[in-house]
Structure formats: structure tokens, C-alpha cells
């Protein structure tokens, strides 16, 4: 894999552009990839929840990974976001069966729907640790999974599962995030998965963000995180405050509905999403447009 330092900074959870028919829009996908690379981001994360991986078939996922690897052409590290799941055995088979050539790491969300105990969450990630062919970023996103990976569990995983080198923490719970940062070694990266609190996470010792808004504003959001990591919080706050009013409207009709609408406004890709997601309501879209900078 790339050096662990390659994942300090700003990663972008790429949307998957679609045509109105629902087919993958590879022309716009290439445009988006070039946009974020030229915007200075540190790494790319296709096929996460922002990439609508849950409505993309395994065959399409493999095609997308090949496309991203070919388009990025080794310019930035790539983290494949489609390796979470609530069936541990099936997930291990998926990891084994995918061609991960050119993929630097996997992003694996804590199991949704089953609502496992903390011990169950630990054992799930231990199995991933023991069988993954790539280093892993674990992903805590209680808003989607309906279960929280508690700080003590994250710290235990960090200490005992050496193939898992980072956590994407999207709980938005700054006390929990602080506890994880204080409880892990410097070799384990605590990465924000929540744009509105990303700078505060960095202020506490976090190592960056996997961002949604970075699809539209890669240069601005990268500058926020980079300045924060360099202790230049006054400069970081200036840009952060300009983007802050946008966050609410990006999520009001769901993610990636909002970020795709913003990308459409900027002429980078269409707003089309796959059911059960639908495009933004017009009133909300108008508010989003009015807040964009």
C-alpha cells in the first residue's frame, strides 16, 4: 500500500455519476476525478455510501474500480469503499473475489441492521483484519448503521488488528472522537467522516477527513484540513465558515442527493441518483444554490 502518511489530509468520497437511464456516466466520472485531483486532494474513495455502492451491483463495482484505477493512473492513492457488510462470511468472500489491482486500501463500514454487540463488532473486524488482502480503514457511521462503535471497541481494534490502520469516524460525537485519539498510537489514523466537525477533529489530533463536500470544493476543503494539520487554524476557520452554511442543504434530502445537485450546478455531473433515492425537492435545491460559494 501507499505509505500511511498518504492518508493524512483530505480524501474525497466520490459520487458515482449516472445517466438518466441509471447507467454509469463514465464521461462525467472522469471529469469528476480530474476535478478533485487538480483540486489537490490527497486520496480518492470511490464506492462508499456517497458513491451509492448499495445500489451498484458487484459487477458494476468491479468495473468502476478498474475505471478509477485506470483514470487516476497512480497519481493518488485509492481506497475502495464497497467492502462493508452485515454478513461477515459473504464480505470475506467478496474481498477474496475482487480484483484489487491498483487499490491501496479498503473502507469497511460497521455492520448495519443486525445491530451487533460491541464484541460482535470487534469479531467482525478481526475477521476482516485476518483475511483482507489490503490494509483497511474501519468506518463508524451510526446514522446509517443504527449501531455505534464505541471508543473502547475502536481502540481495541486499533491495538489488536494491525491490518486496520485507520478509522473513519462519522459519529459527529467529539467526546468519543477525542477518546479514540487519546487511546490509540500515532501509527493509527483517526479520520473524520463528518465534514461539519472535520476541522474540530483535526484540532483534537485527528489526521484528516474523508469528505463529501470535497467533490464540489476540493481545493477549499483541502486547504481547510491542510492548514489545520499545520496548526494554522485562523486561516482554516476563514474558509470553513464560508462553507459551513452549505452543509445543512447538502444533506436535507439525503446523501448523495445534495452533493450531486451541487455538482450539477457546477456543471461537473448530472443530479441523477438510483432509487430509493430521488433528486432534491425544488425549494431545497434553490436554498442550496443560494448558499454555494
Active site residues: 139, 168
Q: Which CA distances in Å does 194 have to 11, 20, 235?
A: 12, 29, 20
Contact, 10 vs 223, CB < 8 A? no
204 strand-pairing partners: none
What phi, psi does 100 have (nearest 5°)? Answer: -105, 25
Give dist(CA 156, CA 235) in Å, integer. 35
DSSP 250-291: HHTT-TTHHHHHHHHHTTSS-----TT--PPPHHHHHHHHHH
Contact, 158 vs 187, CB < 8 A? no
- Name residues whose C-beta falls within 8 Å of residue 245's C-beta, 6 or more positions apart in sequence: 291
Q: Chain-centre distance of CA 66, in angstroms? A: 19
- Name residues whose C-beta falls within 8 Å of residue 197's C-beta, 6 or more positions apart in sequence: 172, 174, 177
Collapsed DSSP state (helix, strand, coil) of residue 1: coil
Helix axes 257-265, 233-251, angle to 10 degrees: 110
Label residue 104 left, alpha or beta by phi (over 0 means left) and psi (-120 to 50 means alpha).
alpha
Amino acid at each position: 500500500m501507499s505509505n500511511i502518511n498518504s492518508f493524512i489530509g483530505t480524501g474525497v468520497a466520490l459520487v458515482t455519476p449516472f445517466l438518466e437511464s441509471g447507467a454509469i456516466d463514465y464521461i462525467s466520472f472522469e471529469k469528476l476525478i480530474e476535478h478533485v485531483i487538480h483540486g489537490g486532494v490527497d486520496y480518492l474513495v470511490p464506492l462508499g455510501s456517497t458513491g451509492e455502492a448499495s445500489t451498484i451491483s458487484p459487477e458494476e463495482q468491479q468495473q468502476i474500480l478498474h475505471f478509477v484505477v485506470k483514470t487516476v493512473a497512480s497519481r493518488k492513492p485509492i481506497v475502495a469503499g464497497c467492502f462493508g457488510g452485515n454478513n461477515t462470511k459473504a464480505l470475506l468472500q467478496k474481498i477474496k473475489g475482487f480484483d484489487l489491482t491498483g487499490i491501496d486500501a479498503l473502507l469497511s463500514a460497521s455492520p448495519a441492521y443486525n445491530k451487533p454487540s460491541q464484541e460482535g463488532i470487534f469479531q467482525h473486524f478481526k475477521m476482516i483484519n485476518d483475511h483482507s488482502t489490503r490494509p483497511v480503514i474501519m468506518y463508524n457511521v451510526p446514522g446509517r448503521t443504527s449501531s455505534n462503535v464505541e471508543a473502547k471497541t475502536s481502540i481495541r481494534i486499533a491495538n489488536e488488528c494491525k491490518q486496520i490502520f485507520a478509522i473513519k469516524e462519522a459519529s459527529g460525537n467529539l467526546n468519543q472522537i477525542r477518546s479514540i485519539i487519546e487511546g490509540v498510537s500515532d501509527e493509527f489514523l483517526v479520520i473524520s467522516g463528518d465534514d461539519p466537525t472535520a476541522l474540530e477533529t483535526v484540532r483534537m489530533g485527528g489526521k484528516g477527513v474523508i469528505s463529501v463536500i470535497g467533490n464540489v470544493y476540493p481545493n477549499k476543503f483541502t486547504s481547510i484540513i491542510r492548514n489545520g494539520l499545520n496548526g494554522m487554524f485562523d486561516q482554516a476557520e476563514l474558509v470553513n465558515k464560508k462553507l459551513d452554511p452549505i452543509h445543512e442543504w447538502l444533506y436535507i434530502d439525503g446523501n448523495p442527493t445534495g452533493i450531486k445537485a451541487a455538482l450539477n450546478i457546477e456543471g461537473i455531473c448530472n443530479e441523477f441518483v438510483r432509487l430509493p433515492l430521488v433528486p432534491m425537492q425544488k425549494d431545497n435545491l434553490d436554498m442550496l444554490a443560494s448558499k454555494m460559494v
